[in-house]
Amino acid sequence: MSLTSKNKVEPMFSMASMTDLIFLLLVFFMLTSSFITPSGLPVNLPTSLQSKIEVQKVSVTVTNDLQYYVNDKKVSRSLLEGELKSKLAGTKGSVILHIDKNVPWEHGIYVADIATKLEAKVVVATKPK
């Protein structure tokens, strides 16, 4: 008497479901990842040969008509130091400086002086050539 099974197990493994899973994970991570979006108001930035994207903590914008903005919030020049102090409280973050290229640099130096007094790194935003 022969006891053989009519159901045979195939030793091959199908990769189709594994590739579907990897594709779905790829799409999920692409859609949920955080994109670096430069903040700041639209100003005519100066150009430079090298420009790299910096993760922005605090953005200070000086427009052509000498208006100061901290993270898109309009701030007077006299209140700029207090606003930066509150944004940088307890961190050694960086201040990204967006200055219109027609603005005299004394305004940029004023903001950079406040930031260095608060022990923050100052980065000047430029657009690549």
Outline where DSSP puts E strands in 19-126.
47-48, 58-62, 68-70, 73-75, 94-99, 121-124
Residue type, 94: S
Degrees, nearest 5: CA angle 69-73-76 = 55
CA distance 94 to 84: 11
Take residue 60 and report the two structure tokens written for it: 């200070």
| Assigned CATH topology for domain 47-128 | Nucleotidyltransferase; domain 5 (3.30.420)
Per DSSP bridges, beta strands 73-75 and 47-48 are unpaired
- Every domain of the chain and the residues it spans: 47-128
Outline where DSSP puts E strands in 1-129.
47-48, 58-62, 68-70, 73-75, 94-99, 121-124, 127-128
Distances (CA, A) of 43 to 69, 101, 126: 12, 8, 10
Predicted confidence (pLDDT) per residue in 50-107, tens digit:
655 555 578 888 988 889 998 888 999 889 888 888 888 877 778 888 888 888 889 8
The count of residues in the chain is: 129
Q: What percent of the chain has pLDDT over 70?
A: 81
| Mean pLDDT of the chain, nearest integer | 80
Identify the residue with better confidence: 128 or 18. 18
